[in-house]
Amino acid sequence: MGRMLEGRTILTILMLAFELYVVVVGFGYGPNSRIFPVGIGIPTLALTIVALVAVWRPGLLRSADASLGGSSIAVELPADEERENVSYPTARVLRMIGWLLLALAGIALVGFRVTVPVYILLFARLEGRARLLVCTLIALSCWAFTIGYFELFMQTQLFKGIFFGDTLPLLRIRNGKHAPLKGKICGSWHITKRSWRRCVSSSPPMREFTLFRIPLRDF
CA distances in angstroms from 186 to 156, 157, 176, 198, listed in the order given: 22, 22, 21, 7
In a domain, 133, yes or no: yes
Domain carrying residue 189: 169-219
Q: Report the domain count for the chain.
A: 2
The pLDDT of residue 8 is 75
Among 161, 188, 207, the domain-final residue is 161
Q: Give the E-state strand segments of the chain in sequence order.
A: 173-176, 189-191, 196-198, 206-209, 214-215
Each residue's pLDDT tens digit, 170-219: 544 444 444 443 433 333 333 443 444 444 334 444 444 444 444 444 44
CA distances in angstroms from 166 to 56, 146, 210, 211, listed in the order given: 42, 18, 11, 11
Pick from 179, 113, 180, 117: which is nearest to 147 by CA?
113
The reply to whether 185 and 149 lie within a common domain is no
The pLDDT of residue 119 is 94
Question: Which residues of the chain carry a pLDDT beneath 50?
Answer: 1, 5, 66-83, 171-219
The pLDDT of residue 2 is 54
Question: What number of other Cβ atoms are within 10 A of residue 214's Cβ?
Answer: 19
Predicted TM-score (pTM) of the model is 0.49
The pLDDT of residue 210 is 43
The reply to whether 190 and 140 lie within a common domain is no
The reply to whether 208 and 145 lie within a common domain is no
The pLDDT of residue 101 is 93
